[in-house]
C-alpha cells in the first residue's frame, strides 16, 4: 500500500488525542525530566516500549518542546527577584522590535509579559542583590525609551512551578 505525502503530512499535523496516561506522563516529565523510561512506564502502567513511543509521539506533536535543567539561583549568586512594571508611550512596530531586542539582550531579564491595564509590560529580573537593579535599569534605558517604570522587590517566593497543569487537555 502506498501512502501519499498529503497523508503523511496530515498524520504529522493532525491533533493527537491524549488520554490519562499521556497527561500523567507530561506531569511526571515536568516534575523530573530525568526520570527513566522504566520508572515512567511503571508509574503509568505501561510497558517501557509503549511508554517510550508515547513520549516520542508527545514530542513530535509539540506537547514537549524541550528539556532544561533547573539551576539553584542561590548557588549562582542571583537570589534577588525584582518585578518591573513598564509603561511605554509608543506602540509602533519599530519600537516593539527594539523593545523585544533590548529585553532579550539583557540576561538578568528572565521573563517578559505584555499586560492589559495601567502598565504595558511586566519584567521579571533575577539579580545578585537589590543594588544591582540600578545597573540593569540603566542598561535598559540606554537601549530603549520608556515612559514609566515601577520596580517591586520580591520578599519571598511562595510558589514557583515551572510546570503547567495538564488537566485542561
**Residues 25-48: pLDDT tens digits?**
999 999 999 999 999 999 999 999
For residue range 62-116, list pLDDT tens digits in order. 999 999 999 999 999 999 999 999 999 888 999 999 999 999 999 999 999 999 9
Domains in the chain, start-ordered, CATH in brackets? 7-60 (1.10.10.10), 80-153 (3.30.70.920)
Distance CA 41, CA 43 (A): 6
Backbone angles phi, psi at 126, to 5 degrees: -115, 125
Distance CA 130, CA 28 (A): 35
- Stated pTM of the model: 0.83
**pLDDT score of 15:** 67
Amino acid at each position: 500500500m502506498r501512502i501519499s505525502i498529503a497523508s503523511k503530512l496530515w498524520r504529522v499535523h493532525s491533533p493527537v488525542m491524549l488520554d490519562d496516561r499521556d497527561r500523567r506522563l507530561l506531569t511526571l516529565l515536568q516534575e523530573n525530566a530525568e526520570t527513566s523510561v522504566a520508572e515512567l512506564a511503571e508509574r503509568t502502567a505501561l510497558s517501557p516500549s509503549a511508554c517510550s513511543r508515547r513520549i516520542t509521539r508527545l514530542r513530535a506533536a509539540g506537547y514537549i518542546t524541550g528539556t532544561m535543567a533547573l539551576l539553584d539561583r542561590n548557588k549562582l549568586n542571583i537570589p534577588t527577584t525584582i518585578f518591573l512594571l513598564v509603561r511605554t508611550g509608543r506602540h509602533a512596530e519599530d519600537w516593539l522590535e527594539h523593545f523585544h531586542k533590548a529585553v532579550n539582550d539583557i540576561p538578568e531579564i528572565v521573563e517578559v509579559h505584555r499586560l492589559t491595564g495601567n502598565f504595558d509590560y511586566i519584567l521579571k529580573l533575577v539579580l545578585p542583590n537589590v543594588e544591582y537593579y540600578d545597573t540593569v535599569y540603566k542598561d535598559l534605558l540606554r537601549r530603549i525609551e520608556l515612559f514609566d517604570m515601577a520596580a517591586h522587590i520580591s520578599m519571598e517566593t511562595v510558589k514557583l512551578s515551572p510546570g503547567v497543569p495538564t488537566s485542561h487537555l
